Amino acid sequence: MGAVAKNKNENNRENDSDRRRVIGKDNVAEAQSDEEVYPSGVTSHACSDSESDSDYLDSSEDGEFEGNQSPVDSGAEDSDSFDDEDDDKTGNDSGLSGDEQGNSDENKSSEQPQGGEESDSSEDEVAPRNTIGNVPLEWYKDEELIGYDITGKKLKKKERQDKLDAFLASADDSKNWRKIYDEYNDEEVELTKHEARLLKRLLKGKAPHVDFDPYAPYVDWFKWDDAIHPLSNAPEPKRRFTPSKWEAKKVAKLVRAIREGRIKFDKPKEESQVYDLWAGESSSPTKKSGHLAYIPAPKPKLPGLEESYNPPPEYIPTQEEINSYQLMNEEDCPKFIPRRYTSMRNIPAYDNAVKDTFERCLDLYLCPRVRKKRLNIDPESLKPKLPSRRDLKPYPITCYLEYKGHKGAVTSISTDTSGQWIASGSSDGTVRVWEVATCRCLRIWEIGEVVKHVAWNPLPELPILAIVVGADVLVLNTGLGSEEDQKQVEELLQVGAATSLDDKTLSVSWIQDDRYRYGAIKLQHFKTVSSVEWHRKGDYLSTVMPAGESKAIMIHQLSKRLTQRVPFKLHGLPVTSVFHPTRSIFFIATKKNVRVYDLLKQKLVKKLETGLREVSSIAIHPAGDNVIVGSKEGKLSWFDMDLSSQPFRTLTCHPKDITNVAFHRSYPLFASCSDDCTAYVFHGMVYSDLNQNPLIVPLEILRGHSSSNGRGILDCKFHPRQPWLFTAGADSLIKLYCH
């Protein structure tokens, strides 16, 4: 029975394959007509498609064949198989695949009754009887079963036949050579003739099917002959083998986008979308940025827990607290006193409703409609970073010495080059020379008139003083030098009668004045002189007569006893004049500006615009490129001459007039003194590097002088070698501030 079914099946297969071939041919024919449309790759695909189609057909036909089977067919098959009998014996054990095939066929036949319509397109779908799975069979060698079926019953192994019986049976059965024991499923399988033949062919290395001819003649389905034109004879277009320009551009664009980060591969995490409930009524001004600054109305206070009709007990004030509220100010006591009601029905009408509404309206009406922009910057951070004062030592700090003796305000002081002596002029009509170290007054000259200015000759071998008294300038011999020096000075201060010309052109007369000890020369001017200044070489001195108009500033040469006016046109009222400490440059300070002249080229070099109301004093840095100017409004301007004609920095420190400013000769210090009885000491470091701005640090406020007639400190001078500051006060004292 089983064998018959198998044969039948086998037949089907045979037919199938034939049919398939035919159908395949048809398909190809169909494809042929399509070929002009599809490229070559596609046609093959179509072929495979058609094959699968044929499979379908196959299966449907299978069912038909199963129904009505012709025995003739099977007989023919049988006869066919006999020819190959001998050969098949040898290929017995090697036909594993065939074995399986047969096996599956058998299964199929057992399933046939229930699954008639079921497709058996794939023979592999038939499950093996064995259910142990794909494990080595030795594991089940000693077991009785080979697994369990789907209902849980044991699949028993077949009883082993006696070897002798088996041999006898095999001897009897002519088909025994076609039987194989399937160890896996524990059953005997009989190969069909067809299978045996297949195996034999496989062993020989031929195609398994008899009918398959590997060397079939090639059928050229393309009709070459009739076509007038070849299908395409054109050479391959260039675009086929050159890289596409547009693709390259596209790639470049993408690369650029990736580099710039426009394309991101790891997407940012999706943030949970939150619905902003208050978005509509938000107070952010950005919403209405198109309009004028929108300021939302102030919001009313939201009700709190205490305004509930049934607040928690801790909110309810005690009777004492309520009583205390009545004693309190109306503004201090709370607006609302929480009370407890048993239900909402018991809440009385709110008696302040109208008042509250009114106040709310007032709030809306009176609320400020101007937005104040407030910068949240720490004011300390805006201060420039200055070095610590401790690092800038030494500088004058404390006053230890006082030079007492003058009866009137000390108007001017001047130190000699060595720093051993200091000269002072006073409104009591005396000029005094003091010893710096001991405060001893060494010399006194009674002039009889207010001494406005004193200036010590910068040469150490010429211990002479220039003093301003009214319209005269006196050049005094102090008598302090050695004998040789004294001789030289005496010669210098001899004015013969011939030299003292009373010319109109000169307007200054040199007169020997022997009233004073050690000798002196008087230079009579025609107007009141305000200040006198020595040139660094000690031979020239300049005097300033504010009312002298075109002859306001004169330069005198001591050795030749010559006087000349400065060869420049003067603008405004001159206040002071200073020589440059190293070069032949001359500074003239008028009330508003400072003009810088070159004495050799006789021309204006620069005009410093102070921007001050009234200049009172000027001092030149010993290097010569920086100038400080003090003004009567208490401002101190620092000019960097290389930088600009505007002040580099203006320091507003004194509440009253600055009377004098001074630079130290060697230490980086400068000072200003004022009528407010204080002197300020600054650190003023000038760097040789032109790119670096001068460093100005206020160091110390020196107090100690007392005010007299509204005047405070009238003059200040640094000690030439020590970081000490002398101040001359209107209280007739000279103070020395030491480091």
Partner 1 sequence: MDIDDSNEELSRRVQVRFITKLEAPLKVPSASIAVPADLTRLGLSTIINSLLKSKNSDWEAEPFDFLIDGELVRMSLEQFLLAKGISVEKILEIEYIKAVVPRKEEEPSPHDDWVSAVDGSFPGFVLTGSYDGYGRIWKAPGLCTYILDGHSDVITSVSVINQKGEENIDVATASKDRTIRLWKVDGECHGNHPGKIRAFKILQGHNASVQSVAAETSCNMICSSSWDSSIKLWRTNVMDMDGEQVSVKKRRVNIKDEETQTEEEAVSTLLGHTQCVSSVVWPQYETIYSSSWDHSVRRWDVETGKDSLNIFSGKVLNCIDVGGEDSALIAAGGSDPVLRIWDPRKPGSSAPIFQFSFHTSWISSCKWHDKSWFHLLSASYDGKVMLWDLRTAWPLSVMDSHEDKVLCADWWRGDSVISGGADSKLCISSGISM
Residues that bind partner 1 (CB under 8 A): 394, 400-401, 418-420, 437-440, 482, 721-722, 724, 738-739
Q: Which is nearer to partner 1, 421 or 682 (CB)?
A: 421
Alpha carbon distance 607, 598 (integer Å): 12
SS3 of 323, please? helix
Q: Is the Cβ of residue 30 or residue 490 nearer to partner 1 in the bound state?
A: 490
Give kind and range of the element (H or E) at residue 199: helix 193-204
Helix (H, G, I), strand (E, B) or coil at 499: coil
Would you say 5 or 401 has its CB closer to partner 1? 401
The residue (of 209 and 389) whose beta carbon lies closer to partner 1 is: 389
> Is 60 or 398 the residue whose CB approaches partner 1 more closely?
398
For 705, the token pair is 């002088």
Pick from 123, 114, 151, 145: nearest CA to 132:
145
Enter the tokens of residue 236.
């391959």
Q: Which is nearer to partner 1, 120 or 485 (CB)?
A: 485
Q: How far is the CB of 417 from partner 1 (least distance, A)?
A: 11
Query: Which lies closer to partner 1 via its Cβ, residue 64 or residue 483?
Result: 483
Q: Which is closer to partner 1, CB of 418 or CB of 652?
A: 418
- Rounded (5°) CA angle 403-409-412: 75
Rounded Cα–Cα distance for residues 551 and 565 (Å)? 6
Smallest gap from Cβ 442 to partner 1, in A, equals 8
| Smallest gap from residue 460 Cβ to partner 1 (A) | 9
- Minimum Å gap between C-beta 503 and partner 1 is 41
Token pair recorded at residue 667:
């230490």
Q: In angstroms, what is the minimal distance from the CB of 393 to partner 1?
A: 8
DSSP calls for 424-441: EEETTSEEEEEETTT--E
Query: Between 481 and 548, whose beta carbon lies closer to partner 1?
Result: 481
Q: What is the 3-state secondary structure (H, E, C) of 358-404?
A: HHHHHHHHHCCCCCCCCCCCCHHHHCCCCCCHHHHCCCCCEEEEEEC
Q: What is the DSSP string of 508-557?
A: -EEEEE-SSTT-EEEEE-SS---EEEE-TTSSEEEEE-TT-GGGSEEEEE
- Is residue 216 classed as helix, strand or coil in its secondary structure? coil
Q: Minimum distance from CB of 737 to partner 1 (Å)?
A: 11
Compute the least distance from the CB of residue 420 to partner 1, in Å. Answer: 6
Which C-beta is closer to partner 1: that of 28 or that of 401? 401
Alpha helices in 35-95 (DSSP H): 40-67, 71-82, 85-90
Instruction: Report, in Å, the least distance between residue 388 CB and partner 1.
Output: 17
| Residue 680, token pair as written in the block | 């300020």
Enter the tokens of residue 200.
């034999």
Q: Do the beta carbons of residue 737 and residue 702 sit within 8 Å?
A: yes
Shortest spacing between CB 487 and partner 1, in angstroms = 14
Cα–Cα dist 530/521, whole Å: 18
We find the least distance from the C-beta atom of residue 400 to partner 1, in angstroms, to be 5
